[in-house]
Amino acid sequence: MRHLRSLILLFSIFLSPLFGLSQICESGLEYCESESDLASKILIKGGTVVNADRQEIADVYVEDGVIVAVRPNIKVGDGVRIVDATGKFVMPGGIDPHTHLAMEFMGTETIDNFFTGQAAALAGGTTMHIDFVIPVNGSLLKGYEAYVEKANLSCMDYGFHMAITKWDDDVPKEMEIMVKEKGINSFKFFMAYKGSLMISDELLLEGLKMCKSLGALAMVHAENGDAVFEGQKRMIQLGITGPEGHALSRPPVLEGEATSRAIRLAAFVNAPLYVVHVMSTDAMEEIARAQKSGQRVIGEPVVSGLILDDSVLWDPDFITAAKFVMSPPIRAVGHGKTLQAALSTGILKLVGTDHCTFNSTQKSFGIDDFRKIPNGVNGLEERMHLVWDAMVESGQMSATDYVRVTSTECAKLFNIYPRKGAILAGSDADIIIFNPNSTFHISAQSHHSRSDTNVYEGRSGKGKVEVTIAGGRIVWENEELKVVSGSGKYITMPPFNYLYHGIDKADAKYLASLKTPVNRIRPSI
Ligand code: URP
Ligand code: ZN
Ligand code: ZN
C-alpha cells in the first residue's frame, strides 16, 4: 500500500501536468484537489444529530461553510449535494486541544506538519486542533510569527496555545499582545524538560498571575523535572539505557507531585488551571481532590494514556518500544482504566492526543540512550475512533457525552462555542457522519500521517467516521481525502472563558476574609 501510494505520488508529481490531473499541494501528497471541486451546498438527510446536550433525528443543511438549518424534512432546490445519513450519527467534528505539528523538539522536528497532520486528522473526523507555539529564544512574538508561517499549509481550522519558557520584562507584555491582538487565550508551562523548556515555581507563579489578569487559561505539563533528571541519572548508572528506562525514570509519583504543586500554586493565586496529558491515577486523584474543594481545575487525558499500557516499552525490538516513548510516560496496566472511569464521571473533561510524531529514524537517535529518543506519539487520526470504542462501545459513555469530550468541551473552554463544537444553525459546518455499525482498522500502511509507525498498529473496533465535512466542504468520503493546502482558517480565541465566571467574587470574598487592616494599639514607649 505504501509503495502504491509512493507510485501514485511520483506519477502525480511528474506526469500530472501532462494528463491534466488535480493540482499537487506543497507537501506533495496525492490527495490534493482544487477547492472548487468541493460541494458548498450540502443536505445531510435523516441522521441522528448528536450535540453534547441532546440527540434527535433531523436533517442538516449547510451553505457556504455554515450550518443554516437543523430540523426534520428540510426541502432544497437544485445544486445541493444530498448525503443520506439514515441509521448514522451526525456529530460536530472533533476538536483536538493538544497537538504539536512541525514542532522543533529534542534536536529534530515532528514528522507531521500542518498539512499532513491535519489531513490525517480529517480522515479521522477531527476538524480543528489547537497547537502549541514554542517561543523562539523566549520571544513569544517570534514564536508566533514562526507558527503563522508553518500553518500556511493548513487544510483545516486551527488555533494556538503559547508556551512560556522564560520570564523577563518582555514576556508579560508579549502575553498581553498574544491575548489582545493575536487571538491566543492559553499559555502552557512545562514543569519538566530540565535544561530546555522547564520553568521554575517562581516563573509558574508569575505566569499564573499574568494569565489571571488577562483572562487566559494557564496549562501545565506536570512532572517534577528535577526529580526526572535524577531518575534518568539513576537509570543510566544502573545500565538501563533502553526505552523502558524512560518509564522507570519518571514514575507516577513525580506526575502526582507536580500536579499537586501546580494545583496548589493556582489555588494560592485563585487562577483556573488546565492540566494537560493526565497520564496517571496519581495525577487524576489530585485533580479530583481539588475539584471537590471547589477549585477550577481541568484535566485532559490523552488517547495514549486512556488506551495503552507500558508493557510495550519492554519490547525487545528497539523501534517497537521507542515509538511509545512520550512524556509523561504511558503507565502500567490499571492507570488507563482509572482515567477512563474519571472521564466517564466528569473528573476529566476532554480528550486530546498530544500528537507529536517522529518516525523510526528519528526515534533511533536514542538507540544507546533513552534520554535521546524524541518524546511523542501519534493520535490525531485515531482519537475519534478509539474514544468511541473505549468509552461508548464499552458502555461507559453516551453518544452525547462522546460529543462533549471530543468536541464541545474544548470549544467551550477555549471560548469558541457555539461557533465550534455544535450542530446548530449558525455554527461552522464542521461535521462528521459516523456509522456505529461499521468497523475501523488502524495501520501505518493505511494511515495518513507521514510517520512510518503507529502506536495503535493492528487495532480495530466498532464505529467509523464515513464522511468528514470541514468548513462546509466534504473532505473525507469513501475512504478518500480531498483536501487543499492553505484552505484552513486560523481561529482566534477570546479570553475569559466560563472558568472565569464569578472568580472576581471569590477574590472579593478572600479579601474580606483577611479582616485587615487591623487597627493596632501602638505601644507607648
Ligand atoms: O512526549 C510528549 N508529550 N511530547 C510533546 C511535548 C509535550 O510534553 O507535550
Ligand atoms: Zn507536555
Ligand atoms: Zn504536548
pLDDT value of residue 19 = 27
Mutation pick for ligand 1 pocket among 96, 98, 100 (CB with most ligand atoms within 8 Å): 100
Set of cell numbers at residue 303: 488517547
Give the Å distance between the CA of 332 and the centre of ligand 3: 20
109 φψ region: left (φ > 0), alpha (ψ -120 to 50), beta (else): beta
Q: Which amino acid is at 239?
A: G
pLDDT value of residue 17 = 31
Set of cell numbers at residue 499: 472558568
E-strand ranges in 294-427 read: 297-299
Average pLDDT, consecutive stretches of 10 residues, N- to C-terminus, the chain (525 residues):
34 30 36 58 98 98 98 96 98 99 98 98 99 98 98 98 98 98 98 97 98 98 98 98 98 99 98 99 99 98 99 98 98 98 98 98 98 98 98 98 99 98 98 98 98 98 98 98 97 98 96 94 91
Give the Å distance between the CA of 327 and the centre of ligand 2: 6
Q: Which residues line ligand 1 (CB under 6 A)?
A: 100, 221, 277, 326-327, 354, 356, 375-376
**In whole angstroms, what is the distance from residue 61 CA to residue 399 CA?**
22
pLDDT value of residue 484 = 96
DSSP category for residue 51: -
pLDDT value of residue 31 = 47
Set of cell numbers at residue 519: 487597627
The Cβ-side half-sphere exposure at 260, using a 13 Å CA radius, reads 12
What DSSP string runs through 91-128? Answer: EEPEEEEEE-SS-EETTEE-S--TTHHHHHHHHTTEEE
By C-alpha distance, which of 159, 158, 33, 156 is closest to 472? 156
By C-alpha distance, which of 404, 469, 407, 399 is closest to 432? 469
CB 326 within 8 A of CB 357: no
Element (H, E) at 175: helix 170-181
Alpha helix (H) ranges present in 293-431? 303-307, 318-322, 335-345, 360-363, 383-387, 399-403, 409-413
Mutation pick for ligand 1 pocket among 108, 354, 370 (CB with most ligand atoms within 8 Å): 354
**In whole angstroms, what is the distance from residue 94 CA to residue 483 CA?**
17
Give the Å distance between the CA of 320 and the centre of ligand 3: 21
Q: Are strands 66-71 and 55-63 parallel, antiparallel or unpaired?
A: antiparallel
- Minimum CA distance residue for ligand 1 atom 5: 376
pLDDT value of residue 25 = 40
CB 199 within 8 A of CB 235: no
Give the Å distance between the CA of 3 and the centre of ligand 2: 34
Q: Is the peptide bond before 328 cis (omega within 30 degrees of 0)?
A: yes
Mutation pick for ligand 1 pocket among 134, 189, 277 (CB with most ligand atoms within 8 Å): 277
pLDDT value of residue 525 = 82
pLDDT value of residue 3 = 36
CB 463 within 8 A of CB 332: no
Q: Which residue has the cell 505566569?
A: 207
By C-alpha distance, which of 351, 342, 222 is closest to 288? 342
**In whole angstroms, what is the distance from residue 345 CA to residue 342 CA?**
5
- Minimum CA distance residue for ligand 1 atom 7: 327
Give the Å distance between the CA of 179 and the centre of ligand 2: 21
What DSSP string runs through 18-43? Answer: HHTPPPPPTT--TTB--GGGS-SEEE
Residues 6+ apart with CB under 8 A from 75: none
* Model confidence pLDDT, tens digit, residues 322-376: 999 999 999 999 999 999 999 999 999 999 999 999 999 999 999 999 999 999 9
- Minimum CA distance residue for ligand 1 atom 8: 327
